[in-house]
Amino acid sequence: MFNRAQTILIPVISVALGLLIGAVVMIVSGYNPIDGYGALLKGSLGETFYIGETIRQITPYIFAGLAVAFAFRTGLFNIGVEGQLLVGWIASVWVGLAFDLPKIIHLPMAIAAGAIAGALWAFIPGILKARLRVHEVIVTIMMNYIALHLVNYLVRYVISDEQNTTDRVPESASLKSPFFEALTEFSTMHYGIFIALAGAIIYFIILEKTSTGFELRSVGFNQNASEYAGMNVNRNIVLSMVISGAFAGLGGAMEGLGTFGYGFIHGAFSGVGFDGIAVALLGGNVAIGVVLAAALFGILKQGALIMPLESGVPTELVEIVIAIIIFFVASSYIIAYLLQRFKKGAQ
Amino acid sequence: MKKRKFGLALSMVLAAGTILGACGSDDSEDTSTDSNAGGTEEESDFTVSMVTDTGGIDDKSFNQSAWEGMQAFGEENGLEEGVDGFKYFQSNNDADYVTNINTAARNDFDLVFGIGFLLTEAIEQVAAQQTDTNFAIVDSVAEGDNVASITFKEHEGSFLVGVAAGLTTESDKIGFVGGVESDLINKFAAGFKAGVEAVNPDAEIDIQFAGDFNNASRGQQMAAAMYGSGADVIYHAAGGTGNGVFTEAKNLKQQDPDRQVWVIGVDRDQAAEGALEADGEELNVTLTSMVKRVDIAVQDVSKQAMDGEFPGGEVIEYGIEEDGISIAETQDNLSQEILDEIESYQQQILDGEIEVPSTLE
């Protein structure tokens, strides 16, 4: 186990190394890394419009990261965040379109629908794991594909009349924010970021401040010991997956009610759910870490879009940087070892 | 107890949503209303950009074709790649469309193309906000006075390659691999089916959709199943997924060079995708391709915009007549009889004697 300072140092060093190696890659491929990173910063934080877009980008990353992290703390690997996000997305849009209610009821209901759909989608691998010991990684991966094609079918044949997109959700179920849009010169920023931050606080409270959270973490550390201590391991596995799925579903609701405001036929996975795995890993599976990691990912991904325009550096460079960061986080023992050597040398 | 706490937590999320939601509707829209849509400045200052869908400009399909058109336009008019000339914006996922289109408009490009029907909603949204910029959407129809919609009569071209398929098949089984089931891809399927039926009423056509434009391995599986059940010609309208169809066809041809395996390409002349070498012999599994000249459309509309004649609010349809649709120039695998037959059907479509259906019934 690492001590406290190390758990903070390792991600920071990984990010620094990732950016450093990214700079080397830029030099080798004939670009100026200062221009490149300058453009990246400008494109993510340099103008109010870009800030708005970055915050919008961060929102689903927080939820996806929380979803992966929550399951991970219980010793489960939820690869199905992508699928849970998609069903949450379409469920929230569906509820948004199907009812005509005052905003104070309609919007929470649509958001809740997203969470419930995600939770149900994660319940299936949870119950299969608990009852039959089917490995959740396999089931959640498969469920992603089922979700993708089910959602596409629903969009085309059930919610819309053979269209490629659903109608836009009415204002009463929309997270869109004319206020922020005006403030950030028509970026797609919406109120979801506050819900995401609230989600992170709830994540912290459930895991760290409740006895349920204690049980969940305990099962994550050692199933046998937990069972011996009188905890119901199977129940905790299902519960963990359900809560994880609810976070993922909320992420989908943010996209469905906020960023887009409608559902559409997905030609491929959105990728947010998979990036959530990296966000959780980098964030050390704790609430504040996930928020910070999501912010970093949002900045990198958003800035990447502007890099080619401003500095000619292709967007793919950011993928390389992210991959290197994840590589170093994943091999954190190397960094911990080096830190120790460094300390000893100093003494 | 535990359950109650969890319930409390959940209701807190909802409460947060409610509180935040309540403050959502207290701001007026202040769209800048300079209302100069359709007007362009001097010719030399003209700038144009395009936003790709997730395929990117090297998708060997319509994104690439559009970019080639834009490069040709730039060369013709002495523009340089960059903010002061022409530029593309790559979208890495669906959420990037609005951001990229908006970024393009904010960087003062006079005309912004959205490439592909997936960008329709995004173009409409940004066009309503950025009224000083002109927009064009390829493959779809979008609302707005500052938006030109560019569509193609893919069903006509698909009809012609359907004729080629119907005359070439020996097993009377023909496959169709579509990307995502949608109005656009149905146009390809409907035209193709009509073309096959016109020359070969006995042929069976198996129409399937991959559900993905970017999944070559899925395309390969579908092609393997179709060829396995006796089909000998497959027409793909599936972008990157279609590359898997080529891979499977080439594998089969490699194993048995005498076997009849054909692929019909889409969007660009895909003869290069089908080339292989078996037993020291140069072979090609590409029967022909349904070429959709996105590049011509991009050049055309850019030119009109530069001349101050931007067709805002209009739907421009490119068909055989407008040189927007044709069969590929590479015709090595088509016999003269088939070419003559295609030629005659093409004339009938041009003369209006044949009305090609654009939807599956």
Interface pTM, i.e. ipTM = 0.84
Weakest-pLDDT range from A180-184, A216-220, B16-20, B97-101: B16-20
Q: For residues A67 and A53, give the distance between their C-alpha atoms in angstroms, rounded to a whole number.
A: 22
Q: For residues B133 and B130, give the distance between their C-alpha atoms in angstroms, rounded to a whole number.
A: 6
Whether B27 has a pLDDT exceeding 50, the answer reads no
Nearest-by-CA chain A residue for B53: A267
Tokens 């915050």 belong to residue: A55
Is A190 a domain residue? yes
Please report the pLDDT score of residue B240 as a whole number. Answer: 83
Which amino acid is located at B190 in the chain? A
Best residue in A58, A164, A265 for a mutation probing chain B (most B CBs within 10 Å): A164
Please report the pLDDT score of residue B54 as a whole number. Answer: 82
CB contact residues (below 8 A), chain A span 155-184, against chain B:
156, 162-165, 171, 174-179, 182
Q: For residues B108 and B23, give the distance between their C-alpha atoms in angstroms, rounded to a whole number.
A: 33
Please report the pLDDT score of residue B31 as a whole number. Answer: 39
Please report the pLDDT score of residue A9 as a whole number. Answer: 85
Given pLDDT bands bounded at 50, 70 and 90, which one contains residue B5? Answer: low
Is A324 a domain residue? no
Is B230 a domain residue? yes
Which of chain A's residues have a Cβ under 8 Å away from the Cβ of B92? 271, 301, 304-305, 315
Please answer yes or no on whether B18 and A107 come within 8 Å at the CB atom. Answer: yes
CB contact residues (below 8 A), chain A span 312-331, against chain B:
315
* Same domain, residue pair B132 and B142: yes
Please report the pLDDT score of residue A312 as a whole number. Answer: 87
pLDDT, one tens digit for every residue, chain A (347 residues): 467 777 888 889 889 999 999 999 999 999 999 999 999 999 999 999 999 999 999 999 999 999 999 999 999 999 999 999 999 999 999 999 999 999 999 999 999 999 999 999 999 999 999 999 999 999 999 999 999 999 999 999 999 888 888 999 999 999 999 999 889 888 889 999 999 999 999 999 999 999 999 999 999 999 999 999 999 999 999 999 999 999 999 999 999 999 999 999 887 888 899 999 999 999 999 999 999 999 999 999 999 998 988 888 888 888 898 889 888 888 877 887 887 888 777 65
What are B164's two structure tokens? 């080629």
Given pLDDT bands bounded at 50, 70 and 90, which one contains residue B93? Answer: confident
Note the residue count of chain A.
347
Which of chain B's residues have a Cβ under 8 Å away from the Cβ of A262? 121
* Same domain, residue pair B202 and B342: yes
How close B199 comes to chain A (CA, Å)?
Answer: 30
Closest CA to B48 of B96, B91, B81: B81
Q: Tens digits of per-residue pLDDT, B261-320?
A: 999 999 888 999 899 988 888 899 999 999 999 999 999 999 999 999 999 999 999 999
Please answer yes or no on whether A112 and B118 come within 8 Å at the CB atom. Answer: no
Q: For residues B187 and A91, give the distance between their C-alpha atoms in angstroms, rounded to a whole number.
A: 30
Q: Is A186 at the interface with chain B, CB within 8 A?
A: yes
Weakest-pLDDT range from A140-144, A247-251, B31-35, B77-81: B31-35
Is B253 a domain residue? yes
How close A202 comes to chain B (CA, Å)?
Answer: 6
* Same domain, residue pair B340 and B241: yes
- Tally the domains of chain B: 2
Please report the pLDDT score of residue B41 as a whole number. Answer: 40
The 3 state secondary structure assigned to chain B is CHHHHHHHHHHHHHHHHHHHHHCCCCCCCCCCCCCCCCCCCCHHHCCEEEECCCCCCCCCCHHHHHHHHHHHHHHHCCCCECCCCEEEECCCCCCHHHHHHHHHHHCCCCEEEEECHHHHHHHHHHHHHCCCCEEEEECCCCCCCCEEEEEECHHHHHHHHHHHHHHHCCCCEEEEEECCCCHHHHHHHHHHHHHHHHHCCCCEEEEEECCCCCCHHHHHHHHHHHHHCCCCEEEEECHHHHHHHHHHHHHHHHHCCCCCCEEEEEECCHHHHHEEEECCEEEECEEEEEEECHHHHHHHHHHHHHCCCCCCCCEEEECCCCCCEEECCCCCCCCHHHHHHHHHHHHHHHCCCCCCCCCCC
How much is the mean pLDDT over chain B?
86
Please answer yes or no on whether A211 and B12 come within 8 Å at the CB atom. Answer: no
Is A28 a domain residue? no
Closest CA to A196 of A98, A85, A105: A85
The enclosing domain of B62 has a CATH number of: 3.40.50.2300
* Same domain, residue pair B245 and B302: no
Given pLDDT bands bounded at 50, 70 and 90, which one contains residue B37? Answer: very low
Whether B34 has a pLDDT exceeding 60, the answer reads no
- Tally the domains of chain A: 1
- Return all residues near A199 (Cβ < 8 A) that are at least 6 apart: A62, A63, A66, A247, A250, B13
Q: Is B276 left (phi over 0), alpha (psi -120 to 50) or beta?
A: beta
Does residue B87 contact residue A251 with C-beta atoms inside 8 Å?
no
| pTM for the model | 0.82
Note the residue count of chain B.
361
Domain that holds residue A278: 55-291
* Same domain, residue pair B258 and B144: no
Best residue in A188, A211, A321 for a mutation probing chain B (most B CBs within 10 Å): A188
Best residue in B47, B67, B99, B133 for a mutation probing chain A (most A CBs within 10 Å): B99
Nearest-by-CA chain A residue for B182: A164
Which 8-state DSSP code applies to residue A165? B
- Rounded mean pLDDT of B176-196? 93
Query: C-alpha angle with apex A237: A232 to A243, nearest 5 degrees?
Result: 120
Domain that holds residue B245: 154-292+331-350
Is A97 a domain residue? yes
Does residue B166 contact residue B195 with C-beta atoms inside 8 Å?
yes
How close A343 comes to chain B (CA, Å)?
Answer: 42
Which amino acid is located at B105 in the chain? A
Q: For residues B109 and B91, give the distance between their C-alpha atoms in angstroms, rounded to a whole number.
A: 17
Cα dist from B179 to B120, B151, B244, whole Å: 18, 18, 12
Cα dist from B268 to A325, B25, B192, B193, whole Å: 39, 48, 17, 20
Query: Parallel, antiparallel, or unpaired: how do β-strands B262-267 and B134-138 relate?
Result: unpaired
CB-defined contacts A:B, below 8 A: 157
Does residue B202 contact residue B213 with C-beta atoms inside 8 Å?
no
Please answer yes or no on whether B9 and A304 come within 8 Å at the CB atom. Answer: no
Please report the pLDDT score of residue B343 as a whole number. Answer: 94
Please answer yes or no on whether B2 and A205 come within 8 Å at the CB atom. Answer: no
Please answer yes or no on whether A186 and B130 come within 8 Å at the CB atom. Answer: yes
Nearest-by-CA chain A residue for B118: A164
DSSP assignment of A183-243 equals HTTS---BTHHHHHHHHHHHHHIIIIISHHHHHHHHHHH-HHHHHHTT--HHHHHHHHHHH
Q: Is B90 at the interface with chain A, CB within 8 A?
A: yes
Instruction: Give Dmax over CA atoms of chain B in angstroms.
Output: 82
Weakest-pLDDT range from A8-22, B38-52, B152-166, B328-342: B38-52
Is B9 a domain residue? no
Closest CA to A255 of B183, B52, B93: B93
Q: Is A111 at the interface with chain B, CB within 8 A?
A: yes
- Return all residues near B111 (Cβ < 8 A) that are at least 6 apart: B46, B47, B48, B49, B133, B134, B135, B136, B301, B302, B305, B310
Please report the pLDDT score of residue A4 as a whole number. Answer: 75
Does residue B123 contact residue B312 with C-beta atoms inside 8 Å?
no
Which of chain A's residues have a Cβ under 8 Å away from the Cβ of B182? 156, 164, 265
